[in-house]
Amino acid sequence: MSHHRVAILSSHISPVSAVMASEKEAALSATPSDAPTIFDKIISKEIPSTVVYEDDKVLAFRDITPQGPVHILLIPKVRDGLTGLSKAEERHIDILGRLLYTAKLVAKQEGLDEGFRIVINDGPQGCQSVYHIHVHLIGGRQMNWPPG
Ligand code: 5GP
């Protein structure tokens, strides 16, 4: 079992402050790579998740460690080399647009009429812990700026 997997599993049972620390630790210990990720198992339904939207290209499900009353992850069902935004190529323009457009649809579906935040973490400094591109949709509370 990899270090990364242990960190994610322990985050499921930790108090909030420990979760916040372990999420950062998970990000810093995750090695950017093309290896399969936990999101493959979420797509295949091998690992259960709360799906809020699904079509042939995009899956949206609730984050297991929500950072607000609403926290949803939107991912492409086929990663196609898009481990993170920094790996984007021209062929990814359609799916990138679709992820953002779907985030807008899901925000509406979730009743986030007062606003929401979209985040794409990239690489160790961006606190990315899962190397399958994903858009965070967070809402239901007042956000702050600058982010941590
Ligand atoms: P990142 O830190 O890479 O931007 O975001 C990865 C996100 O995936 C984190 O917010 C984390 O809580 C979430 N996550 C990790 N493992 C699971 C899981 O097994 N199920 C769900 N629903 N979310 C997960």
Segment 22-75, tens digit of pLDDT = 678 888 888 788 999 999 999 999 999 999 999 999 999 999 999 999 999 999
How far is the C-alpha of 85 from the C-alpha of 4, rounded, in Å?
20
Domain span at residue 60? Answer: 21-137
- The answer as to whether 27 is a domain residue is yes
90-140 pLDDT, tens digit each: 999 999 999 999 999 999 999 999 999 999 999 999 999 999 999 999 999
Does pLDDT of 6 surpass 70? no
As given in the structure block, the two tokens for residue 29 are 């210990």
- The answer as to whether 62 is a domain residue is yes
Beta bridge partners of 51: 61
Tell me the H-state helices in 110-147. Answer: none
- The answer as to whether 71 is a domain residue is yes
Query: In the prediction, which pLDDT does 62 show?
Result: 99
Question: Would you tell me the crossing angle of helices 3-11 and 16-29 to the nearest 10 degrees?
Answer: 160
- The answer as to whether 12 is a domain residue is no
The amino acid occupying position 132 is H
pLDDT-derived band at 4, boundaries 50, 70, 90: very low
Residues with CB under 6 A from ligand 1: 8, 27, 38, 47, 49, 61-65, 73, 121, 127-130
- The answer as to whether 1 is a domain residue is no
Beta bridge partners of 61: 51, 73
CA of 13 to the centre of ligand 1 (A): 14
- The answer as to whether 146 is a domain residue is no
Output the residue whose Cα is nearest ligand 1's atom 21.
Answer: 64
- Give catalytic status of residue 136 as yes or no: no
For residue 105, what is the domain's CATH number?
A: 3.30.428.10
Which among 2, 4, 6, 8 is the best mutation to test ligand 1's pocket, defined by most ligand atoms within 8 Å of the CB? 8
pLDDT-derived band at 144, boundaries 50, 70, 90: very high
**Residue whose pair of structure tokens reads 């909030």 in the numeric block:** 16
- The answer as to whether 145 is a domain residue is no
pLDDT-derived band at 16, boundaries 50, 70, 90: very low
CA of 63 to the centre of ligand 1 (A): 6
How many domains does the chain divide into? 1
Does pLDDT of 10 surpass 50? no
Query: In the prediction, which pLDDT does 21 show?
Result: 63
* 87: DSSP letter: G
- The answer as to whether 3 is a domain residue is no
Does pLDDT of 17 surpass 90? no
Does pLDDT of 1 surpass 90? no
